[in-house]
Structure 1
Amino acid sequence: MRRARFAAIPAAAAAAVLAFPAAAQAAVITQPFAADSGDSCRYGSTDGTLGWQYGSASPLPTAGVAVSGKLADRPLPTDPAATCGDDGYSSTVTFVAYAGNVEVGRQSRTADNTTTSFSFVLGAGSNSTGVNRVVVQVCRNPVVTLPPSYCGKAVTYLAPPVA
């Protein structure tokens, strides 16, 4: 009787894995990100998390990268009057996902004197070898007049190693 009970444990575990395959497949490693427009006032800034999603066959390649965060463009309604006056520009953050040197996903979000939240997945479902890096950059563009536009430094985030 005792052996029968112990023999049932591995069978129950196998049944649980078959019943809930997503739990056995998905592994997500979360990494914070941040970038700004590079100007002295930091008119445009973004921050949040990158969720590197790994598939079931192997820790590599990634199945995609979940991006979640916010973009702020100054002046915000809560800013003191002396901080970063309205300069007539909006801020745009761009996220580009790469598999090697090939672009496999791109998303942008824009804010003008406000904060914008975002959440999306880059590189999911692409016929690639997996996302190995994401480049984040904040640029400022005139709202009414013609360019010039300018951008802060592009920040590169590499897929984290799987231990």
Structure 2
Amino acid sequence: MRRARFAAIPAAAAAVAALAFPAVAHAAVITRPFAADSGDSCRYGSTEGTLGWQYGPASPLPAAGVAVSGKLADRPLPSDPAAVCRDDGYSSTVTFVAYAGGAEVGRQSRTADNATTSFAFILGGTSAATGISSVVVQVCRTPVVTLPPSYCGKPVTYLAPPVA
């Protein structure tokens, strides 16, 4: 009987300690959707996907990195009906730029020509010192064979989500 009482003491102490001292917080990821297009009437170039804002255990520090995943489509796609968008001889490029305040801390681009391209990459690093505060997404179109002029849709800015 005495052994049972003594064995219960460490278990009770562990339960009280767990309530008094919660476990150290783990890194958090807050996922938000994104979308942008080339700004033309046919929406020749368009992109969509998710931005995964990666916060360290010392949140609410600025996001250390942003996981980007999604797809870029450049019309006409092989599955499009012929009347949707004619082939205009341009390709589409999406550019993602990460900022810490006003300073650029990361950049990635992907290109598609009459196709859909999937992508997944990380902007920034794993250090909270990077402090990503926003990501700007923009789709531009560039001639495949001839010299520019190129044109771009409106840049879309995504701010780091607040951490509660």
TM-score by length of 1: 0.88
**Residue in 1 aligned with 2:112?**
111
Post-superposition offset of 1:58:
2.7
Q: CA deviation at 1:33?
A: 0.3
Report the Cα distance in structure 2 between the residues aligned to 1:128 and 1:147, rounded to whole angstroms.
Answer: 39
**Residue pair 1:99, 1:128 contacting (<8 A) in 2 also:** no
Q: Deviations over 1:74-122 (max 9, x none)?
A: 0001100111011000000000000011000000000000000000010
Amino acid aligned to 1:140: R
SS in 1 for 2:76: coil
Q: Percent identity?
A: 79
Hey, what does 1:31 align to over in structure 2? Answer: 32
Partner deviation per Cα, 1:28-49 (whole Å, 9 max, x = no partner): 1111000000000000000000
1:86 aligns with 2:87: yes
Change (3 A) 1:121 1:6: same
Alignment-derived partner of residue 43 in structure 1: 44
Superposition deviation, residue 12 in structure 1: 8.1
The answer as to whether partners of 1:45 and 1:138 remain within 8 angstroms in 2 is yes
Q: What is the Cα deviation at residue 63 of structure 1?
A: 1.1
- What is the distance in 2 between the residues matched to 1:138 and 1:10? 55
Over the aligned positions, Cα root-mean-square deviation in angstroms equals 1.9
Structure 1 pair 74/10, CA: closer, same or farther in 2 (3 Å)?
farther
Instruction: Describe the shift of the 1:118–1:10 C-alpha distance in structure 2 as closer, same or farther (beyond 3 A).
Output: farther
Instruction: List runs of 5+ in structure 1 lacking aligned partners.
Output: none
1:100 pairs with 2:106? no
